[in-house]
Chain A
Amino acid sequence: MSTTHLVPRLRLGLVLLAAVALVALAGCGSSSSSSSSSSSAPSSASTSSSSAATSVSTSSCGSKPGVKATGTPINIGTIDTHQPGTDFTDGPNMINAYFTCVNANGGVNGHPLKLFVQLDQSQPAQVAAAAKQLIQSDHVVAIDGVFDLLECTIDESYWKQLGIYEMDAGIAPGCWAAPTSAAVNMGPRYSSDGAVQYALASEHAKKIVFVQSNVPGTGYIAAGPAAVAKASNVPITELTENVPITDASSIALNLVDDAGSNGSVVLNFTPPEALVILQAAQKLGLEDRVKSWGCSTPCDTDFLAKALGPKWNKKLFVNAEAVDADDHNGPEIQLYKAILAKYGSSVAGGVGSFSQFGFLLAKFLDQALDKVKGPYTIKSVNAAIVGIKDYKSEQLCQPWTYGKLPLHIPNNSDYTVTPDNGKMITTQGCTEISNADPQIAQYRSVAKAHGVTLG
């Protein structure tokens, strides 16, 4: 017998167990991030081809159709999460597509827009360094289009020190609670509020079971749905599940048992995690054992609607933070689809809320830059950004305002969609997120005092 086979099995076993556990933890790390991303990130509303909208000319994205911008570039920076399981690059890619369109049609007063993208893997030091590089090396004058798990929290004090007002499609709580950040999306907490609100008001649920991934920050998110349910005197059970989910059948059984036949289950997960729970429920015949199923925005994806099939038509109700691009065909949506078709080849998810929010962030910045008089400096550009007031978009329920406020939740009115034979369709139009969530109430109070248009 070879001596190489004489390693004591106990030692081998323990070493292997430790090694695999370490690698597994590394894997779970990314998954956890992925799930918080999911919980908060905007999701793809559709994967349908964007070619349908190419009838609209992209020239309307600039002030001088067909004239290429040749002036000195205006440098814009963004920081975005890009790691295994969590890829938010569709957001900045759509902004780049919009900027390319603007630059091909006169630019901003003749100046082309140039986007500097910093990608991170959820390491705080990396995110902080990215901010410094954008300012010190790339000389950006604005931060626009941040789709990141951590950025809003990490860089808040740096932006404050520099007088920068960032625009984002946020993930971290700081994206809505800071004076220097305003998001075009609602994020996980308010989106979950909306899903719970729908279950209570439209489905008349007598109990709510709210479940989300077991990652840092869940307490902050769960506080919203808890307040909404409490205001309606409906009991709520709040659960967390480790991700990635390895026993979806057990989880689905547990949720249904807990909710009961008059209750509703509301999920706050990434699309893949939500899908495995919903599919497990379907396999076990549980979809009809509760009053309804709900989900925050990440579930608003045709990937999910297609995978679930018709059994979930009008059974699953998903909060949507922006209009369903498949359901709507106004001029702005047509322009968005046209830009996506012509310049957005790198937008992997195609039509969907990642690219919708990217479009909005680029559009709002473009409009703000048009108002800058004189040189484009950090001071002048950010004065224009913070001065954004009542910018209208057919994709959002209400006008979008930045303003010098202690907190910003400018998107606080939402839609509800439901699967319909492989697609998500709108089942409820614009509905205000309840003031029962104290943060929403605080924002509305502050916004009203500052003359911000609400609803």
Chain B
Amino acid sequence: MHPFILMALSLPSWENEQPFLVTGLALGGVYALSGVGMIVLYRTTGVLNLSFGAVGAFGALIAWQLINHSGMNQWLAYLVCILVAGLLTLAYGMVFGRALAGRDPLVKTTATLGLTLILLGVMDLLWTSNGGASRSITLPTDNHGFMIGQVQVSTTDVIGLAVGIVITIVTTLFLRYSKLGTAMRAMANDREITATLGVPVRRVEAVAWFGCGIISGVAGILLADLVALDATTLTFLVISSLAAALIARLSSIVITFVAAIVIGVVDAGLTPFMSLTNYRDMTPFVFAAAALLVLNRKQVLSMARQEF
């Protein structure tokens, strides 16, 4: 489009738009990572884990605490973050997941909101913003990067996207070809029949809960660096991942990945559009609502959980 027309319409040039697409790709990668973690757990246990973001935030704040107040090596602290997130999610799954196993999926999902709110309260208590306190996690990879044309790309951006891709591929292969993955898929179809076939369903569920927690810990660290180390922000970033998962009808890992990338890129890409910039936070909602309506119109939503 002619530059004059672009200016008249307050549209950014393609050159100006490119850096926003890069940041969107990195964010989209982490949203995808979160979305995949949520879907694996949902397909295995029927629980859509809305505490995903809060658990990641909790782990990231613990890492920050260990680095800044205990002098711990930062890589070790990040490992602790991931483990804490994994164990916390596992503990919830073992206590409440079992107790609610026979309940409606909506009840199971709503219960995870309880964990979210408890964690939010605890984080606000332990890491108050009193006195202008502001915290941040800066990964060493932030200081390295390269230029693509005029666009600065940090290694963390690359890691964000790469981890999303790797988790998507590995999870897909794991579910398709490994014994444990096959058991998870079987449970996705029917937990009771799977149990009668001798599959240790509780152990399989435990692995799913722990794996979901581990992914939330990884996402927590990456998002704390890419977005902000703030309990509220990280907790509710799960919305973008949830939207991607809903677009994928809570079943397809690949579609979740693609949807998350699109949401991340569109969200960031709208920033230089003056007339739209303040509405870009609606991106995940708009995509999810549109997808649900379109899918419903085409009658492609099924009543039961499907295969991966």
- A251: nearest residue on chain B (CB-CB)? B271
Q: Is A304 an interface residue (CB 8 A)?
A: yes
Tell me if A44 and B278 are in contact (CB < 8 A): no
- B251: nearest residue on chain A (CB-CB)? A9
Given contacts A245-B228, A276-B227, A352-B131, contact A253 B304 (CB under 8 A): no
From the candidates A253, A254, A274, A303, name the one contacting B133 in the complex (CB within 8 A): A303
Q: Mark B110-131, 1 if CB is under 8 A from A, else 0.
A: 1001001100110010001111
Residue from A89, A90, A284 whose CB has the most chain B CB atoms within 10 Å: A284
Residues from chain B with a CB closer than 8 A to the CB of A86 are: 129
Min CB gap A179→B, angstroms? 30
Given contacts A16-B246, A23-B116, A284-B152, 13 further A-B contacts (CB under 8 A): A12-B250, A16-B50, A17-B242, A20-B236, A20-B238, A85-B124, A246-B227, A250-B267, A253-B23, A271-B129, A274-B134, A301-B134, A349-B133
A residues apposed to B, CB below 8 Å: 1-2, 4-10, 12-17, 19-21, 23-24, 27-28, 30-31, 34, 41, 43-44, 47, 84-90, 214, 239-242, 244-251, 253-254, 257, 270-276, 279, 283-285, 298, 301, 303-304, 307, 347-350, 352-355
Segment with Cβ contacts to A, from B71-79, B91-99, B288-296? B288-296
- B284: nearest residue on chain A (CB-CB)? A17
Min CB gap B278→A, angstroms? 6
Q: Is B24 an interface residue (CB 8 A)?
A: yes
Residue from B189, B190, B296 whose CB has the most chain A CB atoms within 10 Å: B296
From the candidates A9, A90, A301, name the one contacting B249 in the complex (CB within 8 A): A9
From the candidates A9, A244, A251, A349, name the one contacting B250 in the complex (CB within 8 A): A9
Residues from chain B with a CB closer than 8 A to the CB of A15 are: 106
Min CB gap A66→B, angstroms? 31
Tell me if A16 and B272 are in contact (CB < 8 A): no
Tell me if A307 and B136 are in contact (CB < 8 A): yes
Question: Which range contains the number of B residues in contact with the other chain?
Answer: 35 or more
Q: A266 to B237, alpha carbons, bound, how many Å?
A: 27
Tell me if A6 and B303 are in contact (CB < 8 A): yes
Tell me if A246 and B237 are in contact (CB < 8 A): yes
Given contacts A20-B239, A251-B271, contact A244 B233 (CB under 8 A): yes
Given contacts A7-B106, A84-B124, contact A31 B232 (CB under 8 A): yes
Residues from chain B with a CB closer than 8 A to the CB of A250 are: 20, 23-24, 267-268, 271
Residue from B106, B109, B134, B152 whose CB has the most chain A CB atoms within 10 Å: B134
Q: Mark B180-211, 1 if CB is under 8 A from A, else 0.
A: 00000000011110000000000000000000
Q: Mark B241-253, 1 if CB is under 8 A from A, else 0.
A: 0110010011000
From the candidates A1, A20, A249, A254, name the one contacting B277 in the complex (CB within 8 A): A254
Given contacts A5-B105, A301-B132, A303-B133, contact A249 B239 (CB under 8 A): no
From the candidates B189, B233, B268, name the one contacting A249 in the complex (CB within 8 A): B268
Residues from chain B with a CB closer than 8 A to the CB of A301 are: 131-134
Tell me if A284 and B19 are in contact (CB < 8 A): yes
- B125: nearest residue on chain A (CB-CB)? A84
- A87: nearest residue on chain B (CB-CB)? B130
Residues from chain A with a CB closer than 8 A to the CB of B190 are: 1-2
* 22 contacts across the A-B interface (CB closer than 8 A): A1-B190, A5-B105, A5-B305, A7-B106, A9-B303, A10-B301, A12-B109, A14-B292, A17-B242, A20-B239, A23-B113, A85-B129, A244-B232, A245-B233, A246-B233, A247-B27, A250-B268, A272-B129, A274-B134, A275-B134, A275-B136, A352-B132
Tell me if B227 and A354 are in contact (CB < 8 A): no
Q: Is B46 an interface residue (CB 8 A)?
A: yes
Q: A85 to B236, alpha carbons, bound, how many Å?
A: 14
Tell me if B295 and A10 are in contact (CB < 8 A): yes
Q: Is B215 an interface residue (CB 8 A)?
A: no
Q: Is B275 an interface residue (CB 8 A)?
A: no
Tell me if A1 and B271 are in contact (CB < 8 A): no
In the complex, the 7 A-B pairs of residues with the closest C-beta atoms, listed nearest first: A349-B131, A44-B132, A43-B132, A250-B271, A244-B233, A249-B23, A271-B134
Tell me if A8 and B131 are in contact (CB < 8 A): no
Residues from chain A with a CB closer than 8 A to the CB of B46 are: 4-5
Residues from chain B with a CB closer than 8 A to the CB of A283 are: 142, 154, 156
Residues from chain A with a CB closer than 8 A to the CB of B237 are: 246
- B237: nearest residue on chain A (CB-CB)? A246
Residues from chain A with a CB closer than 8 A to the CB of B110 are: 19
From the candidates A34, A245, A285, A347, name the one contacting B152 in the complex (CB within 8 A): A285
Q: A6 to B296, alpha carbons, bound, how many Å?
A: 16
Q: A177 to B157, alpha carbons, bound, how many Å?
A: 47
Tell me if B152 and A348 are in contact (CB < 8 A): no
Tell me if A303 and B124 are in contact (CB < 8 A): no
Tell me if A242 and B50 are in contact (CB < 8 A): no
- B188: nearest residue on chain A (CB-CB)? A5
Given contacts A7-B106, A20-B238, contact A276 B228 (CB under 8 A): yes
Q: Is B65 an interface residue (CB 8 A)?
A: no
Min CB gap A100→B, angstroms? 19
Min CB gap A264→B, angstroms? 19
Give chain B interface residues in 147-176, CB to chain A under 8 Å.
152, 154, 156
Tell me if B228 and A34 are in contact (CB < 8 A): no
Given contacts A10-B296, A245-B228, contact A279 B132 (CB under 8 A): no
- B288: nearest residue on chain A (CB-CB)? A17
From the candidates B102, B105, B130, name the one contacting A7 in the complex (CB within 8 A): B105
Tell me if A44 and B302 are in contact (CB < 8 A): no
Q: Is B307 an interface residue (CB 8 A)?
A: no
Residues from chain A with a CB closer than 8 A to the CB of B304 are: 1, 5-6
Tell me if B227 and A350 are in contact (CB < 8 A): no
Q: A248 to B128, alpha carbons, bound, how many Å?
A: 22
Q: Mark B31-68, 1 if CB is under 8 A from A, else 0.
A: 00000000000000010101000000000000000000
Min CB gap A351→B, angstroms? 9
Q: Is B308 an interface residue (CB 8 A)?
A: no
Q: A102 to B120, alpha carbons, bound, how many Å?
A: 39
Tell me if A16 and B48 are in contact (CB < 8 A): yes
Residues from chain B with a CB closer than 8 A to the CB of A275 are: 134, 136, 228
Given contacts A2-B192, A283-B156, A348-B131, contact A27 B136 (CB under 8 A): no
Q: A1 to B190, alpha carbons, bound, how many Å?
A: 5
Tell me if A27 and B236 are in contact (CB < 8 A): yes
Given contacts A5-B304, A20-B242, A246-B281, contact A87 B292 (CB under 8 A): no
